[in-house]
Amino acid sequence: MEQITQFLPFILMFVVIYFFMIRPQQKKIKQEKEFEAALKVGDKIITKSGLHGKVSELAETTVVIETMSGKLKMERSAISLELTAALNKKA
C-alpha cells in the first residue's frame, strides 16, 4: 500500500498532462486532417503564412491556389483557415 502512495503523485501528474496537453493536441490534429480532406475547388482560404487566395486545383497532397498575383502550388497542410464558410455564417 505504501508503494502505491509513493507513485500516486506521478500517476496524477501523468493524468493531468494527458488531459491538458496530449488529448487537446490529438483533437486539433484530427480537426486539421478533416479540414484538409474537406477542401474543395472555389473555397477562399488563408495559408499559415498569411497568404489569401482561392482554391483552383486539388491533388492528393497539394493544392493550387489563385491569388491576385497568380497561381501558387502548396501543400494542403500549409492552409490554416477556410474563409468561405466563415463568410457565409456572417451573412
Nearest alpha-carbon partner for 12 in 28, 23, 20, 25: 20
CATH number (domain holding residue 51): 2.30.30.60
- Each residue's pLDDT, cut to its tens digit, for the chain (91 residues) gives 778 888 899 999 999 999 899 899 999 888 888 888 888 999 999 888 889 999 999 998 999 999 999 999 999 888 887 776 666 666 5
Instruction: Name the pTM for this structure.
Output: 0.63
**Residues 64 and 31 grouped into a single domain:** no
CA–CA gap between residue 44 and residue 57 (Å, rounded): 12
- Residues 16 and 5 sit within 8 Å (Cβ to Cβ): no
* Confidence (pLDDT) at 91: 53
Q: Which domain holds residue 29?
A: 1-38
CA 9, 10, 13, 18 torsion-angle sign:
negative
CA–CA gap between residue 50 and residue 62 (Å, rounded): 17
Angle at 16 between CA 7 and CA 8, to 5 degrees: 15
**Residues 54 and 71 grouped into a single domain:** yes
